[in-house]
Amino acid sequence: MNVKAFRIDRAQNVKDKIQTSDLRPQSSEQRTHTELFREELKELKHKSLLRHLTCIESSQGPRITIKGNTFLNFSSNDYLNLSGHGEVVKAACFAMQKYGVGSGSSRLLSGTIEPHVMLERTVARFKDTHKALVFNTGYAANTGLIPVITDEQSVIFSDELNHASIIDGARLSKAETRIYKHNDISHLEELMKTSLDDKSILRRLIVTETVFSMDGDIAPLRSILKLSKKYKALLIIDDAHGTGVLGNTGRGGLEHFNIKDSGIVQMGTLSKAVGCFGAFVAGKKSLIDLLVNRSKSFMYSTALPPAVAAAAAMALHIINTSSSRLRKRLWRNRERLFNGLEELGFDTLQSETPIIPILTGNVKDTLRFGKYLYKNNIYAPAIRPPTVPEDTCRIRFSVTAGHTSDDIDRVIDLLRQYK
């Protein structure tokens, strides 16, 4: 074979190999990152788990605007309707004019500004603790708190329905995590009793939400506190959905159960009933000082904008001094919707709060339910995995003080037609 023929034959062999290789599935190493991303999105779409962002063209409130249309909003955690309160907005505007928009750096550098100090003092007084520390989000608070107070000689006892931020906070720590059945005191004690056999465990920590964000039920804090005393465990409560809602004056889960114990660590958010943004940890001075020095999500984050801190302080002041009327309206609305759903035979799980889920089961039925509501200008998106376990999909109604009786009745009438 001459050189020219050899080259032609070789070129044909290469071409054949290329064509053959195109038919073979490529390994993950051969595929581009973009192709892998697209495959994952395709898989989510196939499972009806692909999510999209909905742009709201108005302020938060019981009514919102989407694509020029007005919707009744049952998806917001702004329980007391404070996000648009005149005094809260005024406090934010005043602080913005005085301090500017951004805080410039982390709190340990030049980012601690007067509104941050004012807010932390307000939180500590409101929660009746020695001191408080503000974080940028509830997620940052839990992932910044739990790893600081646990180590490889610790064990964490966590409710199986705890928020993702608690789960990730436990993962970031070096502690072993033992999951107890939801609100099951017997199972929690069984796990705690078993832990006594392990002499390497020096610290025990119980962590629970006060109000569970997807079920709307309340943790049995008195029983949990009793166990924490018995087994010498530190108790952390995530009071994100309890602050401003539970208790005679809205101080949250501890007030709801009439518990006074300075040893309990209280985490909460400023983005729900407070109507603003951010989060906090409230407790003993030694704990807060330790968090300032060791909590990574606090140390390495730029501080909250001063206007946000000032607004939150004003909102807490309103909750503390004049929110009784708002809270009564909130609970009236809650009872009206809950009773209507019960009469229609919907499974509302064990809801005890303004978070009222309707258990719908599988993903497709839940999406169909959500679309029905959306077409009728009710905004209450479908809740699917991984937010909730498989086969426990739901529509989650979140009632606020801003809703009217007519708003509630409209929802009930629409659900009666759907049934």
The 10s digit of each residue's pLDDT in 41-84 is 999 998 989 889 889 998 899 999 999 999 999 999 999 999 99
The catalytically annotated residue of 131, 241, 256, 403 is 241
Please state the pTM of the whole predicted model. 0.89
* Residue 6 pLDDT > 50: no
Q: What is the pLDDT of residue 17?
A: 46
* Residue 22 pLDDT > 90: no
Own/partner long-range contacts of 365-371 (Cβ < 8 Å, ≥24 apart): 365/393, 366/393, 366/394, 366/395, 367/48, 369/395, 369/418, 370/395
Tell me the three state secondary structure of residue 242. Answer: coil
Judge whether 377 counts as a catalytic residue: no
* Residue from 237, 252, 222 nearest 166 by CA: 237
Judge whether 256 counts as a catalytic residue: no
* Residue 19 pLDDT > 90: no
The catalytically annotated residue of 81, 213, 323, 333 is 213
Judge whether 163 counts as a catalytic residue: yes
Q: Which of 58-67, 130-139, 307-316 shows the lowest per-residue confidence on average (mean pLDDT)?
A: 58-67
The catalytically annotated residue of 85, 116, 272, 403 is 272
Q: What is the pLDDT of residue 29?
A: 60
* Residue 246 pLDDT > 60: yes
Q: What is the pLDDT of residue 58?
A: 86
Mean of per-residue pLDDT scores for the chain: 93
* Residue 15 pLDDT > 80: no
**Domains (range + CATH), the chain:** 63-80+324-418 (3.90.1150.10), 86-322 (3.40.640.10)
Judge whether 77 counts as a catalytic residue: yes
Tens of pLDDT, residue by residue over 169-210, are 999 998 999 999 999 999 999 999 999 999 999 999 999 999
* Residue from 402, 415, 404 nearest 76 by CA: 402
At residue 40, φ and ψ (nearest 5 deg) are: -65, -40
Tell me the three state secondary structure of residue 25. Answer: coil
Give the rounded percent of residues in the chain with a pLDDT score beyond 70: 93
Rounded Cα distance, 120 and 107, in Å: 13
**302 conformational bin, left if phi > 0, alpha if psi -120 to 50, beta if neither:** beta
Strands (E), 293-383: 355-361, 378-379, 382-383
Q: How confident is the model at residue 13 (pLDDT cuts 50, 70, 90)?
A: low
The catalytically annotated residue of 159, 189, 209, 239 is 209
Q: What is the pLDDT of residue 361?
A: 86
Tens of pLDDT, residue by residue over 376-408, are 999 999 999 999 988 899 999 999 999 999 999
Listed in sequence order, the residues at least 6 apart from 241 whose beta carbon sits closer than 8 Å to its beta carbon are 77, 209, 210, 211, 212, 213, 272, 273, 353, 355
**Alpha carbon separation from 60 to 74, 178, 192, 248 (Å, rounded):** 11, 38, 43, 26
Q: What is the pLDDT of residue 25?
A: 52
Judge whether 209 counts as a catalytic residue: yes
Better-scored residue on pLDDT, 15 or 186: 186
The catalytically annotated residue of 77, 183, 271, 323 is 77
The catalytically annotated residue of 116, 163, 256, 403 is 163
Rounded Cα distance, 109 and 199, in Å: 41
Judge whether 238 counts as a catalytic residue: yes
Q: What is the pLDDT of residue 5?
A: 46
Q: How confident is the model at residue 30 (pLDDT cuts 50, 70, 90)?
A: confident
Residue pair 72/411 in contact (Cβ under 8 Å)? The answer is: yes
* Residue 137 pLDDT > 70: yes
The catalytically annotated residue of 215, 238, 239, 407 is 238
Judge whether 241 counts as a catalytic residue: yes
Rounded Cα distance, 89 and 331, in Å: 25
